[in-house]
Amino acid sequence: MLEILNDVPLKPLHTFGTDVRAEAFVKVADREDVEALPDLLKERNYLILGGGSNVLFTDNYRGIVVKPVMNGLNTLDESEGHIVLEAGAGLDWDAFVAFCVKNGYGGVENLSLIPGNVGASPIQNIGAYGVEIEKVIEGVRFFNLAERGWNAYAKGQCGFGYRQSVFKKALKNKCVIVSVVFRLTKKKHDFQLGYGDLSKLVKEKGGESLQAVRDAVIEIRQGKLPDPKVKGNAGSFFKNPVISHVQFIELQKIYPDMPFYDLLGEKKIPAAWLIEKCGWKGKTIGNAGVHHKQALVLVNANGMAKGKEIVELAKQIKNSVQSRFQIELDFEVNIV
Ligand code: FAD
Ligand code: EPU
């Protein structure tokens, strides 16, 4: 039986910590709860909310916020070399990573300390330090609200790309992800240490082990990303833009120090560098700001920011990057 709460404060339920409320709020814990949703949500606005670490509310939410809280963790298959785990959507992502590392299951250690829940991990194909979650996802189980039916997509059906998946495109707002199936290594771990100084730091932590990688990643992240409990934020506000080789060559003539990652025939440019070059790093406008250690992260500077102020700052940043570099930045954060 679904318990619907009215006029619920959302401030503790999303990491930007803006002071907004939801008209209605409901938790879904099992199949029966999820199957009751289409009738409940009929002709109403609704939003599926995980840990709230990739959303920005611009106002009070006029509709129902639905929070999946399934927290099961089951072994579907196991051999000497691998384990296949099905993790409930409501599990805390980093608690899941910690569990895997502790038990010697490899594949998610580079993704340590990313906030949010397991259910959101396939949505933008979370990625950090050279690994994207698609690498270890075997499948995603979800309920299609429009079709009122259960579905299981294999990895190949998920349309994964850089900060992209079918759940952000054709299935956006149409499905409730209830669990994610991961295939992890039990030995012969494929350590990915090529990003920045990760390899050096892992050596300092005792050399290649899942725990050393986790510790190193956590240390790097804590050194530059603001802790949402201290300063509201949603991680990178923009995606890193991908530009053509031709545009890159032209820009490189003017900015020979411009960092880049090679893609097939294209280049990905760190948006943080573009934003810093435009002079935004560490700036505050009203209650919204640009983090002083990582220019891609917008912050609720004093805990009093309104979502609209943060969006306004983001638009100003987007405009200045566009006019200086002719590069369009896209939001990574979901603006609600
Ligand atoms: P939410 O913010 O609650 O939701 C995100 C989107 O997914 C929304 O559109 C929501 O409707 C939808 N959604 C959520 N759960 C479900 C579900 N069960 N079914 C259907 N739809 C759902 N991301 C990275 O990729 N890499 C990083 O390194 C990284 N670092 C971060 C660092 C900080 C400090 C912060 C605050 C954020 C960071 N993020 C990063 C962004 C964020 O943590 C991830 O996108 C995370 O996966 C969001 O999970 P969530 O549960 O909080 O999702
Ligand atoms: N840089 C600057 N100024 C800054 C910060 C960075 O010029 O203030 C430049 C530097 O050249 C640096 C480069 O940008 O080498 C890359 O910076 P960083 O390693 O911090 O990574 P990023 O590209 O800014 C991406 C992800 C992060 C992820 C890190 C690590 C996106 C949009 N963001 O950031 O994900 O944690 O790589 O892999 O792809 C998130 O999605 O919310 C997120 C935090």
| 239 in contact with ligand 2, CB cutoff 6 A | yes
| 35 in contact with ligand 2, CB cutoff 6 A | no
Report which ligand 1 atom has the smallest distance to the Cα of 54.
Answer: 2
Tens of pLDDT, residue by residue over 110-152, are 999 999 999 999 999 999 999 999 999 999 999 999 999 999 9
Tens of pLDDT, residue by residue over 1-26, are 899 999 999 999 999 999 999 999 99
The whole-number pLDDT of residue 233 equals 98
Ligand lying closest to the C-alpha of residue 236: 2
- Give dist(CA 89, CA 152) in Å, integer: 14
Tens of pLDDT, residue by residue over 225-272, are 999 999 999 999 999 999 999 999 999 999 999 999 999 889 999 999
Contacts of 15 (CB under 8 A, 6+ apart): 51, 52, 53, 115, 228, 232, 233, 234
Contacts of 287 (CB under 8 A, 6+ apart): 300, 301, 302, 304, 305, 306, 309
H-type alpha helices, 36-117 = 37-41, 93-102
Nearest alpha carbon, ligand 2 atom 11:
259
For the question of whether the overall pTM of this predicted structure is more than 0.75, the answer is yes
The whole-number pLDDT of residue 1 equals 82
Q: In angstroms, how far is CA 327 from the centroid of its own chain?
A: 23
Both structure tokens of 230: 């201290």
Name the band, by pLDDT with cuts 50, 70 and 90, for residue 331. very high
Nearest alpha carbon, ligand 2 atom 36:
128
Both structure tokens of 190: 């494929």
Please give the average per-residue pLDDT across 294-315, as a whole number.
Answer: 98
Asked whether the predicted pLDDT for residue 109 surpasses 90, the reply is yes
Asked if residue 56 lies in contact with residue 17, where contact means CB atoms within 8 angstroms, the answer is: no
Nearest alpha carbon, ligand 1 atom 48:
116
Residue 245 CB neighbour total at 10 angstroms: 13
